[in-house]
A and B are shown apart, each in its own frame.
Chain A
Amino acid sequence: MNPDLRDLYQQMIMDHNKNPMNFREIRDATSRAEGFNPLCGDHLHVYLKMNGDRIEDISFEGAGCAISKASGSMMTAALKGKTRAEAEGLFAEVRAMLSREPGMPVNAEKLGKLAVFAGVCEFPLRVKCASLAWHTMMEAIAPTGKQVSTE
């Protein structure tokens, strides 16, 4: 396989795609949001259970490509137990990673495992797939009342 593709479809991403974590509804969620990528039909829901300022539980479900599913899985794993401010900070890091110029470094220390998505910036058409869950999470955590669309 070509090296860019190998960068995109790393084993960790494929594993999360196959067996996504927190792939369920939270029935007693304190907030939820719906995200949609009209171009390709990716469609997911993010559920949050907040305890004060802290994310007690977070989950997602829906249909989408490997990148969007792995992103939802790894996002929920990374955010459980974090505060609202920490979640927003991590969102900013992820966004910076996805939208950076190829070849530029990423903040591996802050991103941790999420740095596995660093290769996505080589595939401009796929950035939306990786960011859909994150945008949807942001809508759930700080609602604007709109359905999230990556268009």
Chain B
Amino acid sequence: MNGLDVAKVREDFPVLHERVYGKPLIYLDNAATTQKPKIVIETIKQFYSRENANIHRGIFCLSERATRRYENARLKVKEFLGAASEKEIVFVRGATEAINLVAQTWGRAFLGKGDEVLITHMEHHSNIVPWQILREEKGIKLKVAPVDDAGELIMEEFRKLLTDKVKFVSVVHVSNALGTLNPVEEIIRLAHEKGAKVLIDGAQAVAHEAVNVRDLDADFYVLSGHKLFAPTGIGVLYGKAELLDQMPPYQGGGDMIRSVTFEATTYNKIPYKFEAGTPHIAGAIGLGVAVDYLRGIGLEWIAAYEKELLAYGTKKLLAIPGLRLIGTAKRKAAVLSFTLGEAHAHDIGTILDRAGIAIRAGHHCAMPLMQRFGVSATTRVSLAFYNTREEIDRLSDALREVVEVFK
């Protein structure tokens, strides 16, 4: 495809043709979860209708087929992220589980009292709380790099905080609440110079631009399938093979072992060591198909289209009296977080909902960031490549109605 034909891609997403309160649905909550293309929905239906079996064990046709499809999905994800080997792709429930896995395995094994973990002020709760839990357990120190009024990471401060004591850096690639695109390449380079390992939370990044974990030199990279047009309950932990090899297992159970006696157990090789129990087989297969679908459209076209849509949306929103954008970084993903005069985000959400417009109102699981900007909540519009200028026009009309109500 040369460029992005939005009318055509919209045909791929059944839910975009739903109506709510008698009005066509305008779905602008893509940072919370994305919609699923027909091909993903059909694949899952097909799997449960015709192919369902457990993997890695049954010696019959269906199990062999399910195993092949599951492992094939791993290969697709490996290609998608530019990983060196499929061994480096661990299937988990989502980005949250992936971060917890790293904190509870790498963190527990290699961090001790006085070691420092550096995060940023714009982290999602899922990249704060796992480190606080580890702090309780191991006595590590958690440090937070500040952001400026535009919502950009203050690199000078980050560099200062990155002392020799910092053993691990965990940073969000794209902020879910602000849209800020962090300079992760530079962050990783600086951290490596100090000998620290780096995890990048890519939950909000991978649906919007091409990511190559080897070019970035990330030690760990995590994502959630459901924010990537795939089902909920499936996600990915990418980790460099040498690191995954050194890490103790996360959960114990079937599939993660080589042999078990009551005296001693030997663990399976990576990535299986981290995949205890029957995984979300259909979800992984669905993720593989979603990744194929995205590559078919071309992430470069998606990025270009969203950039244009973000510029249009920014202009339209800033023309509304009393609207204040929270998050005005120079490099941004298609997220528009804002406050509107005295109107509370929750009230805005209700009024937009009745106009058929789905947005997020609240703290976006980033309460420290809300405090940083002196707000208890914002209204967040988050775009995907199937959104249109017409939808933004209708959003703008509905927001003007909010202004009228709260005059």
Binding site for B on A (CB under 8 A): 1-2, 4-5, 8-9, 14, 18, 39-43, 63-67, 123, 125-126, 129
Contact = CB atoms under 8 A, between A and B. Distances in A.
Contacts, number: 52
A65 B87 CA distance: 49
A5 B351 contact: yes
Given A1-B405, A41-B370, A41-B377, A65 B354 contact: no
Contacts of B367: 41
Nearest to B343: A66
Contacts of A2: 21, 354
Given A1-B405, A41-B376, A129 B346 contact: yes
Interface in B340-355: 342-347, 350-351, 354
A9 B405 contact: yes
Interface of B: 21, 342-347, 350-351, 354, 361-363, 367, 370, 376-377, 401, 404-406
Nearest to A63: B376
Contacts of A129: 346
Contacts of B405: 1, 5, 9, 14
B350 A123 contact: yes
Nearest to A64: B344
A14 to B, nearest CB: 7
Given A1-B401, A2-B354, A64-B344, 6 more contacts: A5-B350, A42-B346, A42-B376, A63-B376, A66-B343, A66-B347
A70 B391 CA distance: 32
A147 to B, nearest CB: 16
B344 A66 contact: yes
A129 B21 CA distance: 22
A69 to B, nearest CB: 8
B344 A65 contact: yes
Contacts of A123: 350
A78 to B, nearest CB: 22
Contact of A40 (B343, B351, B362, B406): B362
